[in-house]
Chain A
Amino acid sequence: MPDQVKRLSVIFILVISALVIVRYLLIPPTFGKLGHYRARALEDAKALPVKYAGREACLECHDDVGDALGKSYHRGLSCEVCHGPGAKHVKSEGDVELVVPGKRKDCLRCHQFLSSRPTGFPQVDPLQHNPVKPCITCHDPHEPGPPRAPADCSGCHTTIAKIKGVSRHVSLKCETCHTTKAQHKLDPRKFRASIPAEREFCGKCHAKKAKGSSDIPQVDIRLHGGRYLCWECHNPHNPQGE
């Protein structure tokens, strides 16, 4: 074997040995037994103290609150989402107090406006929606429906109202395009508002020869945009936006 190969071999043997030693020292013994992770991690996780008691445990004492909550919009929430981990509270039979959230920021964690939240989910702009006033003065978290039917649509559809408010459709009332039953304000999911379904609806104002101001953009409603419906390209609440 040439001299240079011997010298290189020493280096390679050293590197490989170092890797083997480091592997031996650093890889946890149970790594790979169940998958590409440390199997003992499961035992470690199991050994952690249980912090949450679960909804059932809460209902054993607070069944009255549980009944109210079960009929409200918050029925999907577990008590400990708002009140924090309750295992100690249950174990001590109430001696360890739970968290009682009451500040605006507690509610805003879910109800502050975020564009990625689903439409229809109650979202508010904290700067405009009764600023400074704690939410619980008007809303009962265990029965969080609005204290009274909102006076107009913007009470719930704040985002749309804000977008429309600076658009060319600002002067249009919501009822111009949507019809609703009176119960919609009290039970919006059961009594839904109507949504235009045909391009002819937009054509009432935007088709050629439609009646209205000469400032209203008008197009050949049959040909414009091919097979797409108007709102697939134009946001009706912000029609001049891209």
Chain B
Amino acid sequence: MEQLIHQLYSALQNVTGFIYPNEIELQWSILIVIYPYITGLVAGAFILASLVKVFNVKEVSPTYRLSLLTALAFLIVAPLPLLAHLGHMERSYEIFLTPHLKSAMAVFGFVYLWYLMVVLLLEIWFDYRKDMIEWGNQSRGLKKLFYRFLVLFSKDTSSEALAFDKKAVRVITIIGIPSAFLLHGYVGFIFGSVKANPWWSSVLMPVVFLFSAIVSGIALVLLLYMIATMLRGEKLDMRCLDRLADFLFYSIIVDFSLEMLDFIHRLYQSEESIKIISQMVSSRLFVSLIVIQILIGTLVPLGTLFFIKITSLNEELRRLLYFLSAILVQIGIFSTRWNVVIGGQLFSKSFRGLTVYKMELLGVEGLLVGIAFLVLPFIILYVLMRILPPWSSPGPGADENSSKQLQPQTQP
């Protein structure tokens, strides 16, 4: 109790204006910022994968499998920040046993399960089936058994079976696009439907979340593709990179336009909350919203990508600028999530005062746990890439030197 009072006293030093006592301390912390960020990356990476299978964009096919594995790695981690925040992770399965269909948060469990089991795992399974059979045949001992188990002891590699796999992947991807929209649109819906909070309550919220998800997903896969290719000592496919950058450019334009539409709409409506929101944007959120999200995270990469499009820079410079733009986009989208989640709790519902968010370093809601949740998907992705290499190779057990000679797989 005394510790709590001490915390409240220190928070009170930074409170301005009038604020209700229960608003001094923020309840949704850094973990709730990370949750929509990670979920957005899942949806974005999957939408990128669908470009190859549904929209037939051949240039980005080297990133197809990488996108799927990225989506899976991040999807596995996506609910963890939420569960850590809620506490009692061991009870989370109960959401499936006694479904509460009138609760949007409870329905998320099913959206998540659908996306994991029916979309991602199935698509990856069908796409990798032939390769897993081959890797099983080439391996020995436990590894052989592992791959045989992964492929459910299937051995059929006839042309009919492979044609079926291909068709199945296409059908699942078509189902997957609305599912990905549902997955991240839901996250926006959760915030957008809080009608008591003018910073969140907006029908545009799910759409804005969706497009920012696409932006962050494309930027992440672009980064991962560049890093992974460099680590493998391969040459980057510049056609693929240019095309990815194109999609990134267009999706940033749509995302930014939607966000601006939302801002203009709020300003023009000028509801009673506009004064405190303007005050918050110009003080508490100035750095994270105006400087990081809009300037560094959106306008700078947008300008850079536009500059690359209208000039004919050499490959090396383009690679460097793509890399930097993608990093800036990631920082920008993270601060987008920050500004939504934290921003929505910084002003009093009396519209008369502002509080501050003091992040803990240690503890479940602390910075270190947050960083761990951000690093964990990359570790899972590394393991997944070891088990299911996204680029064609003679098998995970094959000679390392020989695998370096291989080209990225264009037609899985």
Contacts and interface: CB of A to CB of B under 8 A. Distances in A.
A3 B130 CA distance: 13
Given A23-B97, A36-B98, A36-B100, A4 B165 contact: yes
A77 B9 CA distance: 29
Contacts of A31: 98
A65 B161 CA distance: 89
Given A4-B161, A114-B5, A115-B12, A26 B97 contact: yes
B98 A8 contact: no
Interface in B231-286: none
A54 interface: no
Interface in A8-23: 8, 10-11, 15, 19, 22-23
Interface residues of B, number: 27
A76 interface: no
A8 B156 contact: no
Contacts of A11: 152
Interface residues of B: mostly helix, strand, loop or mixed?
A: helix
Contacts of A114: 5
A116 interface: yes
B16 A8 contact: no
B126 to A, nearest CB: 7
Tier of interface size on chain A: 20 to 34
B154 interface: yes
A10 B17 CA distance: 62
Interface in B5-47: 5, 8-9, 12, 15-17, 21-22
Given A114-B5, A115-B8, A242-B16, A8 B152 contact: yes
7 contacts: A2-B156, A4-B154, A4-B161, A8-B125, A22-B97, A115-B12, A233-B17
Top 4 closest A-B pairs, CB basis? Answer: A116-B21, A7-B152, A3-B156, A242-B16
Interface of B: 5, 8-9, 12, 15-17, 21-22, 96-98, 100, 117, 122, 125-126, 129, 152-154, 156, 160-161, 164-165, 352
Interface of A: 2-5, 7-8, 10-11, 15, 19, 22-23, 26-27, 31-32, 36, 114-116, 232-233, 242
